[in-house]
Amino acid sequence: MNRHPNRRQWTLAATAALATLPLFGCQSKSDLPLEGMDLTGAEHGKDFPLFDPEGRQRSIKDFAGKVVVVFFGYVQCPDVCPTTLQELVEAKALLGPLGERLVGVFVTVDPERDTPEILKSYTHNFSPDFVGLTGTPEQIAQVARSFKVFYKKVPGSTPGTYTMDHSAGMYMYDPQGKLRVYHRYGQGAAALAHDARLLLEAMP
């Protein structure tokens, strides 16, 4: 059963917003043959100053020398989130030894239910080096805005229950901590691995 009745609308909204990025967000383009949307020179999504399950504030600087892929979602998501994280796992495998330098960062948009313990267990279930990030609702909203990410709480079928509609896509940073690529939901592990390899080999 589809628990996200408005996902199509949110996906279309996110796609429309991202389509305008080259007009005002990117000063220059990469000469790399990227599979995803080239965000080289983008002024948005510069960092994600949120907290890991141990309570440490994290930054893109913590992952120097690695390709970082950031995704916004929530633990109880039945489809998009686990599919996306599994694609990251598969991309790491496709990279072979270079896969150790591909890291997933999962930002929850549901801090009410995604406690640090739950968030850690969820991300580590996919890969022990994936990092879950959380914060106050206000902090998460601020970071989401900086990435042009949309999300909304949707009441469930019974009192007190709800789901989260959210834009789906991944943001890829190069080993120098610069936002470089946007991957649409469903673009696949091979495309992720392709672009990660290009960025890693361009900046060994």
Element (H, E) at 153: strand 151-155
Return the axis-axis angle of helices 80-94 and 189-202, rounded to nearest 10°: 50
pLDDT digits (tens, 9 = 90+) for 82-114: 999 999 999 999 999 999 999 999 999 999 999
pLDDT digits (tens, 9 = 90+) for 109-163: 999 999 999 999 999 999 999 999 999 999 999 999 999 999 999 999 999 899 9
Taking the domains of the chain in order of start, what are their residue ranges? 7-25+37-202
- pTM attached to this predicted model: 0.86
Element (H, E) at 85: helix 80-94
Q: Is the pLDDT of residue 40 over 90?
A: yes
Give the mean model confidence (pLDDT) for residues 25-51: 85
User: What superfamily in CATH does domain 7-25+37-202 come from?
Assistant: Glutaredoxin (3.40.30.10)
- Given the DSSP bridges, would you call strands 102-108 and 131-133 parallel, antiparallel or unpaired? parallel
Structure confidence at residue 28 (pLDDT):
53
Higher pLDDT among residues 26 and 158, named by residue: 158
pLDDT band for 200, please (50, 70, 90 cuts).
very high
Structure confidence at residue 21 (pLDDT):
42
Q: Is the pLDDT of residue 19 over 70?
A: no
Give the mean model confidence (pLDDT) for residues 163-176: 96
Could you tell me which residues come within 8 angstroms of residue 79 by beta carbon, excluding any fewer than 6 positions away? 3, 4
